[in-house]
Amino acid sequence: MLDAEQRERYSRQMRFTPIGETGQLKLMRSRVLIAGVGSLGASLAQHMARAGVGEIRLADRDYVEWSNLQRQMLFDEDDARLSLPKAAAAADKLSRIASSVRTEAIVADLTAPGALEAAAAGCDLVLDGTDNAAVRLHLNDWCFRNGVPFIYGGVAGAAGMSAALVPGSTCCLRCLFGGEEEQESGDTCDTIGMLSPAVEMIAALQSAEAIKWLSGNRGELRRTLVSAAVWPFAMREHRLPASSAGCRLCSAAAIAGDVNQAMTQTMSAAAPVSKAADAALAVSKTTAVLCGRDTVQVELQRTGNPGMYRSRLEQLGCTVIQNPYLLRAELPDNEGRFVVFPDGRALVQGTSDPGEAIRRCEIYLS
């Protein structure tokens, strides 16, 4: 039963007949994972918290920067000044928007072994707030293996797309767009920028489908792919394709149970490591070039308090700041920046060349 405060708080949402008090109670008993808390994710997080979703897990591998503030609606200048991880800054904001919502900040790369399994365990659905195909496909594969709906969204420039993909009911993301190679070939925020109204439009489409599912209105899900743009304006709705006959995740054969083997194959395809980079690994290996950031993420061999690098970085002329979540070092002569997290990841900024990023790690973080 709802108490008086909850009744008032959610009154307008409950007056919307398909939700009502029953739907509100279901929302409050729900648990979701927001994978990626950047542009889409920050907006998705607000929608879920304000709707009264009971538990929100926020997973992101990055931290707040000045260039995020134009479109990532949860963050402010203090978050950027303090270089707070997006997941932690978002959890803090959500607790002020809706103190009864349980939040969990997960500062990690969801493609690391076991990370997604832990983050998504027990969730009713996964909301896509990512900005790259490898992570998105990893989410898709986990969701389809585990029977959890995946609410896809993607934005670049003034346009975006969204679809609710439901195991056993719709095709998966691989059947919709192909694998990593096909998906990486399109425009990204790196090449054509990103407008905040486009982000909000796609986040709204995703959030509406999530609220339908979580409030028990599962038959109301929009079983289409929407592609939309705010400038120039366009909106189209496409029927979702049937599962590819050979898809090991969403075809009839996969649903019948032959999914574990498929996962072994698709997961190894989803997280490729360049052979050239692998051979050069004295201290680290490249894991990802971050979208739109002139940044490479490098996985270090050591995990633990990044303060262990502090004295060497300072000896080499870096300006170092540290907060409970990360260490940030500005290299001398404006050569770039390192951000090191306790889970052993380093974001090397000022280059998009994986070889150069590894070289800098070997010099500064050895």
Residues 233-260 as b or e (16 or more Cβ within 10 Å = b): eeeeeeebeebbeebbbbbeebbeeebe
Residues 64-94 as b or e (16 or more Cβ within 10 Å = b): bbeebeebbbbbeeebbebbbbbbbbbbebb
Stretch that binds Zn ion, among 86-94, 157-165, 166-174, 354-362 (CB under 5 A): 166-174
**Please, what is the minimum distance in Å from the beta carbon of residue 273 to Zn ion?**
25
- The smaller minimum CB distance to Zn ion, of residues 250 and 288, is found at 250
**Please, what is the minimum distance in Å from the beta carbon of residue 151 to Zn ion?**
16
Adjacency order of strands within the sheet including 295-300:
284-290, 295-300, 345-349, 337-340, 326-330, 319-323
Segment (H or E) for 206: helix 196-214
Distance CA 328, CA 344 (A): 14
List 40, 156, 164, 172, residue binding Zn ion (CB under 5 A): 172
**Please, what is the minimum distance in Å from the beta carbon of residue 165 to Zn ion?**
9
Helix axes 196-214, 39-51, angle to 10 degrees: 40
Distance CA 306, CA 325 (A): 9
Which residue, 348, 344, 347, 342, is CA-closest to 325? 342
User: How far separated are the first and last CA of the chain, in Å rounded?
Assistant: 57
Stretch that binds Zn ion, among 2-10, 171-179, 208-216, 285-293 (CB under 5 A): 171-179
- The smaller minimum CB distance to Zn ion, of residues 29 and 238, is found at 238
**Please, what is the minimum distance in Å from the beta carbon of residue 247 to Zn ion?**
3
The length of the chain, given as a count of residues: 366
- The smaller minimum CB distance to Zn ion, of residues 172 and 348, is found at 172
- The smaller minimum CB distance to Zn ion, of residues 171 and 329, is found at 171
Indicate whether 175 belongs to the interface with Zn ion (CB under 5 A). yes
Distance CA 55, CA 320 (A): 35
- The smaller minimum CB distance to Zn ion, of residues 262 and 331, is found at 262
The H helix count followed by the E strand count for the chain is 17, 14
Stretch that binds Zn ion, among 97-105, 151-159, 168-176, 215-223 (CB under 5 A): 168-176
Size of the site for Zn ion (CB under 5 A): 7
Residues 327-356 interacting with Zn ion (rule: CB under 5 A): none
Binding mask 206-245 for Zn ion (x = CB under 5 A): -------------------------------------x--
- The smaller minimum CB distance to Zn ion, of residues 106 and 175, is found at 175
Distance CA 75, CA 69 (A): 6
- The smaller minimum CB distance to Zn ion, of residues 4 and 256, is found at 256
Stretch that binds Zn ion, among 83-91, 170-178, 184-192, 219-227 (CB under 5 A): 170-178
Residues 247-266 interacting with Zn ion (rule: CB under 5 A): 247, 249-250
Enumerate binding residues for Zn ion (CB under 5 A). 172, 174-175, 243, 247, 249-250
